[in-house]
């Protein structure tokens, strides 16, 4: 079996999904430096390209010149990711397990539908920069176009609040000081919605 990373998504992903999926790869390779110890291109170079592209994607009231710039930045980012895929092909040493740990999806020999996104993992809550803010953050999920956050106050009769975001981090505002809140998150993509993550809880300040 020829073990190679799939790269077709670099062309087919929407702008927002590309930001998410490149983030998945960068996080995974950073977490598996024992396998991928000398990435080519260097991960900081790809992160910079991703940051520039993400800023262009999130630009409000963009004009034609901004669109051209965004498309050029996408080309820069996807070219770097193709080079990284070549590196992963060699560095994974023919191991499917190692390839999966790179964050790249493996190439499939037949056309099969993209699966339901995996359950989000690594969810953590922290206090925000301002009082009454809680910040949820977790590892992004490959193929997730949007995330649904479920916030539940630990008070009698409380009703969960649902909020959605395209990012794997989200800030909740106007939390009541002294109240403990529990958050979990699910990931949605073209094939459906994942299971809810393991919950995380924190008392608002």
Per-residue pLDDT reduced to its tens digit, 29-57: 999 999 999 999 999 999 999 999 999 99
110: helix, strand or coil:
coil
> What pLDDT does residue 1 have?
57
Give which of 46, 24, 5, 54 is closest to 189, Cα–Cα. 24
Write down the domain spans for the chain. 9-101, 121-203
Q: Tell how strand 121-127 and strand 134-139 pair up.
A: antiparallel
Question: Homologous superfamily of 121-203 in CATH?
Answer: Immunoglobulins (2.60.40.10)
* pLDDT class of 63 with cuts at 50, 70, 90: confident
Q: What is this structure's pTM?
A: 0.81
């Amino acid at each position: 079996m020829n073990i190679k990373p799939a790269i077709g998504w670099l062309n087919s992903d929407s702008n927002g999904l590309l930001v998410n999926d490149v983030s998945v790869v960068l996080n995974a390779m950073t977490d598996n430096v024992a396998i991928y110890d000398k990435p080519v291109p260097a991960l900081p170079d790809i992160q910079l390209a991703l940051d520039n592209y993400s800023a262009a994607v999130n630009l409000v009231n963009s004009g034609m010149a901004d669109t051209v710039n965004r498309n050029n930045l996408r080309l820069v980012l996807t070219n770097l990711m193709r080079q990284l895929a070549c590196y992963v092909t060699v560095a994974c040493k023919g191991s499917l397990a190692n390839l999966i740990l790179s964050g790249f999806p493996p190439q499939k020999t037949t056309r099969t539908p993209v699966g339901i996104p995996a359950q989000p993992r690594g969810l953590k809550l922290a206090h925000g920069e301002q009082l009454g803010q809680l910040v949820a953050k977790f590892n992004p999920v490959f193929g997730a176009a949007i995330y649904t956050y479920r916030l539940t106050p630990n008070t009698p009769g409380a009703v969960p609040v649902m909020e959605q975001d395209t990012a794997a981090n989200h800030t909740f505002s106007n939390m009541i000081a002294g109240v403990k809140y529990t958050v979990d998150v699910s990931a949605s993509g073209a094939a459906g919605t994942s299971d809810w993550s393991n919950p995380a809880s924190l008392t608002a300040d």
